[in-house]
Amino acid sequence: MARQLGVTPLTGNEVGLRVIGWTGETPLWYYVLREAAVTTSGERLGPVGGRIVAEVIVTLLNRDPASVRFAGPEWEPRRSFIELLQPSARSRS
């Protein structure tokens, strides 16, 4: 998958499945977790995992006629994205 996205894939040693005798292709869920661990010390997703999540979000927004993507130019958000993430802002909704 990494190559298909134009990303340099993790090496066999970075994936770490050979030490337990795994010789098949790396399962995507495991690759995404290892990529995050190897590239960002597990702080955030790596290039493949981040791309998958981003494409899912964009696809969902594009397929939902009620999403902000289709709002008119007069639309304004009621609160900021940061406020949506803060527990006190969510309790006031």
What is the DSSP code string of 22-63? --SPPPHHHHHHHHHHHHHTTSS--HHHHHHHHHHHHHHHHH
Q: What is the pLDDT of residue 29?
A: 95
- At CB < 8 A and 24+ separation, what contacts does 25-28 make? 28/1
Residue type, 24: G
The parent domain of residue 46 ranges over 3-91
Q: What is the pLDDT of residue 31?
A: 95
Which tens digit of pLDDT belongs to each residue from 20-72? 888 888 999 999 999 999 999 999 999 999 999 999 999 999 999 989 889 88
Instruction: Report residue 75's pLDDT band, with 50, 70 and 90 as the boundaries.
Output: confident
Q: What is the pLDDT of residue 90?
A: 54
Number of domains in the chain: 1
